[in-house]
């Protein structure tokens, strides 16, 4: 089974090397597609240095993160497709093999993510596991960790592309379609697949959280799911628990661990 990993980048020279090396270290049939928004900081040189043979690299202006993600999906030829951000990396070399094995009897696979300090990727900030999750949690703005979520090609076609008109929450809107419109069969696995540096557009202070929660509420209403702003904000009580629970199987055993 072929796994397509799509990485969207813009001026990511400082971190994308870890991303590329972690994909290159994967076992099995893996395709890596890097969609760059026309970086000016040397991202292209890092890609040339660390990419696995056959990596597809496209560098051109785009209309934002989700437009670039749609471009990557359009170029993917794998049986299963997912996204690995340019400041994240697989934390084990068998991540794609685990995804392929679980996808044999499901439309999608959901694995855990470990969120670490941007300046010290070996220090865990909080765990974002794939389990437990149930679709009713969506009304609270809670979804499975997207960097650990992979869908079959046919299932992705049923869900459709990301909506680029949504500034920072199109992944949540897409996940709503996964569970409410396409009703995919999702296999959750206990392993932590991805290490994710903290920060990012959706977690950069109160203003960004307010914007993403406003978008989440609009998406819920658009899909006919009852919710309210206080309900969305209550998810942070659950997120607080993630700061004190360990990440499942992270760090991974030494024989499968990628050292970023």
**Domain extent for 129:** 2-241
Q: What stretches in the chain show pLDDT beneath 70?
A: 200-206, 259-260
| Beta-bridge partners for 82 | 5, 150
Tell which residue, 9, 253, 250, 243, has the closest CA to residue 148.
Answer: 250
Instruction: Specify if 212 maps to a domain.
Output: yes
- CB distance 179 to 139 below 8 Å: no
Instruction: Specify if 180 maps to a domain.
Output: yes
Q: CA-based diameter of the chain, in Å? A: 49
**Looking at residue 146, which CATH number applies to its domain?**
3.90.550.10
Instruction: Specify if 126 maps to a domain.
Output: yes
What does DSSP say about strands 120-128 and 88-90: parallel, antiparallel, or unpaired?
unpaired
Tell which residue, 171, 11, 4, has the closest CA to residue 75.
Answer: 4
Instruction: Specify if 186 maps to a domain.
Output: yes
**pLDDT score of 204:** 56
Instruction: Specify if 139 maps to a domain.
Output: yes
Could you give the CA distance from residue 114 to residue 165 in angstroms, rounded to a whole number? Answer: 29
- What is the domain count for the chain? 1
Residue 92 DSSP label? B
Could you give the CA distance from residue 62 to residue 160 in angstroms, rounded to a whole number? Answer: 19
Task: Say if residue 23 is preceded by a cis peptide, omega within 30 of 0.
Answer: no
Instruction: Specify if 129 maps to a domain.
Output: yes
**pLDDT score of 200:** 59
Could you give the CA distance from residue 90 to residue 94 in angstroms, rounded to a whole number? Answer: 9
Please state the pTM of the whole predicted model.
0.93
Instruction: Specify if 260 maps to a domain.
Output: no
105 torsion bin: left (phi>0), alpha (psi -120 to 50), beta (else): alpha
What phi, psi does 198 have (nearest 5°)?
-75, 165
**pLDDT score of 171:** 95
Instruction: Specify if 230 maps to a domain.
Output: yes
């Amino acid at each position: 089974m072929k796994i397509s990993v799509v990485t969207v980048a813009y001026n990511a020279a400082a971190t994308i090397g870890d991303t590329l090396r972690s994909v290159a270290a994967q076992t099995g049939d893996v395709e890596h597609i890097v969609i760059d928004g026309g970086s000016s900081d040397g991202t292209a040189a890092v890609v040339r240095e660390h990419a696995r043979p056959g990596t597809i690299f496209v560098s051109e202006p785009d209309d934002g993160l989700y437009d670039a993600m749609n471009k990557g999906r359009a170029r993917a030829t794998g049986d299963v497709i997912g996204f690995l951000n340019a400041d994240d990396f697989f934390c084990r070399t068998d991540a794609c093999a685990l995804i392929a094995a679980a996808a044999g009897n499901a439309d999608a696979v959901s694995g855990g993510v470990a969120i670490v300090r941007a300046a010290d990727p070996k220090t865990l900030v909080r765990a974002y596991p794939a389990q437990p999750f149930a679709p009713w949690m969506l009304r609270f703005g809670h979804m499975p960790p997207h960097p650990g979520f992979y869908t079959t090609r046919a299932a992705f076609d049923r869900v459709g592309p990301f909506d680029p008109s949504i500034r920072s929450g199109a992944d949540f809107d897409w996940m709503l379609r996964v569970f409410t419109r396409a009703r995919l069969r999702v296999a959750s696995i206990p392993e932590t697949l991805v290490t994710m540096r903290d920060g990012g557009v959706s977690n950069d202070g109160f203003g960004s959280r307010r914007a993403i929660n406003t978008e989440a509420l609009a998406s819920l209403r658009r899909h006919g799911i009852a919710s309210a702003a206080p309900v969305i904000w209550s998810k942070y009580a659950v997120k607080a628990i993630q700061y004190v629970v360990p990440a499942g199987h992270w760090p991974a055993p030494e024989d499968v661990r990628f050292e970023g």
